Structure 1
Amino acid sequence: MASAQLTSPGTARTAPNFSRLDLNHNNIRLSSYRGKVVLLNFWATWCGPCLTEMPIFTAWQREYGSEKFQVIGVSMDDGAPEVIAATRKMKIDYRVFMGDAHLGIAYGGVLGLPVTFLTDRNDKIRARYDGAADPEGLRKDIETLLRMK
């Protein structure tokens, strides 16, 4: 299980903005979530640990969504059909879009999956989790960021 320590706001870098179409063909722009804590998860349908995390992220979206929290999934699969099938089967209700190597590079390189980023309300990357994140540690980090105004 991957763990990370929240960086201080002063040393955190701004999350690279993006504008993409989600699986429902609606535009998704990271900057439109300013004011929210965002969990940005790079994953793939062939990644077992990724598929294990996704129901947890769905539950957190439901639990914390009203507190200005948003989960965004970035599929690193080659094609959308298998991603659409997987998200429907798993009843994923947060936004998912297709990523690519350029976006992965913008985020400092996404070589193995899953990779999860946690941003604060000011679009600052406060943590990076390489590999399956420790759910309780990640939950605590989310709650810490949600308490910060």
Structure 2
Amino acid sequence: MSKFDIDEALIRKLGSLLKETGLTELELEKDGQRIRVTSQAAPATVVHASPVANVSAPAAPAAPAKAETAKNALTSPMVGTAYLSSEPGGTPFVKVGDRVTKGQTVLIIEAMKVMNPISAPANGVVKEVLVHDAQPVEFGEPLLVIE
């Protein structure tokens, strides 16, 4: 097993991101190393950090062209299932044309049986909803456009 250099600044940045978004877990893989940061009652801590095999994978499919050009696309912070309402068949958190405020829950992503609220990053108007209810989403996938 190769030596794993810990980037403390990155870990602190990921911990801050957990607090800002209200998420419970983030995982980042770069250059064959993976870091997972989780948060519970205690402050965010590194739970798992280990080298992983450097395997070339096919490029991920391109995101929708509309989302690529949208500066204000809210992207998924994790892999999971996106839900547009708090319960099946319920009223969606937001719809196109709704005015949202920074920190307002706009959808939920379920990951590992944990419901993670996803908040609006800024005040604005929902211009486009790019996912469907109960749709699987990837890390970095555009979810909504808020302008």
The TM-score bracket by the shorter chain reads: under 0.3
User: Higher strand share goes to which structure?
Assistant: 2
Give the TM-score normalised by structure 1: 0.25
TM-score, normalising length: structure 2: 0.25
Larger radius of gyration: 2
Structure with the higher helix share, 1 or 2: 1
User: Which structure ranks higher in relative contact order (CA pairs < 8 Å, sequence separation ≥ 6)?
Assistant: 1
